[in-house]
Chains A and B, each alone.
Chain A
Amino acid sequence: AQSVTQLDSHVSVSEGTPVLLRCNYSSSYSPSLFWYVQHPNKGLQLLLKYTSAATLVKGINGFEAEFKKSETSFHLTKPSAHMSDAAEYFCVVSEGYQKVTFGTGTKLQVIP
């Protein structure tokens, strides 16, 4: 059975400092992995996805994530946080239609 664990429910960073949001997963197959961002009372927006091509995936708004099979991790990073990055982030693992599992989310706070 697949699962996804977001290791931090809340992360707080100062504006201009790096962001690291951690995600570990388990899967019996070679899954697709995604990061989504959700601003309050909005839908989820796709940040980036990994589908077995390059292990370092670049997304929108300066975010990127590295797939590490040996560590079963897919951490999301950004070199410099901006106030507009404050939101909730979801890591997702997918093996197909019904086999999509969402993490419980990490709320990112950016301090001016």
Chain B
Amino acid sequence: DGGITQSPKYLFRKEGQNVTLSCEQNLNHDAMYWYRQDPGQGLRLIYYSQIVNDFQKGDIAEGYSVSREKKESFPLTVTSAQKNPTAFYLCASSIAGETQYFGPGTRLLVL
């Protein structure tokens, strides 16, 4: 089945710790995206990547980092510099800038 997978479903972060969220797609899409979702605020773009080895900051990139070494994978690292990381994180992919298809999400909680 084609689709987008995110892991883990839940992730716990200790203060000062970096954590990495996984996103994999087998849709052969060139573009991939990371969003943060907070209650009542819709989705906000963290980073996006149009092609392998290239990525751009979105609206709220501070405290986050990404890599795009393979077309299928776009991991997101939440660094210790992100002071309010508790949120639901959604990964998406698309052909060029067209319709985005979303993964099931990862909920990040702070211990």
Contact = CB atoms under 8 A, between A and B. Distances in A.
Contacts, number: 52
B90 interface: yes
Interface in B21-45: 31, 35, 40-45
Contacts of B104: 42-43
B42 A32 contact: no
A102 B99 contact: no
A98 B47 CA distance: 9
A98 B45 contact: yes
Contacts of A105: 40, 42
Nearest to B105: A43
A29 interface: no
Contacts of A41: 88, 105, 107
Interface stretch (A12-20, A44-52, A71-79): A44-52
B42 A104 contact: yes
Interface size bracket, A side: 20 to 34
A27 interface: no
15 contacts: A32-B99, A41-B107, A42-B104, A43-B6, A43-B105, A44-B92, A90-B42, A90-B43, A96-B97, A97-B50, A98-B45, A98-B58, A100-B100, A102-B44, A104-B42
Contacts of B50: 97
B90 A97 contact: no
B64 interface: no
Contacts of B96: 97
Interface in A28-59: 32, 34, 36, 41-46, 49
What 6 A-B pairs are tightest by C-beta distance, nearest first? A43-B102, A102-B42, A96-B97, A97-B97, A44-B102, A102-B43
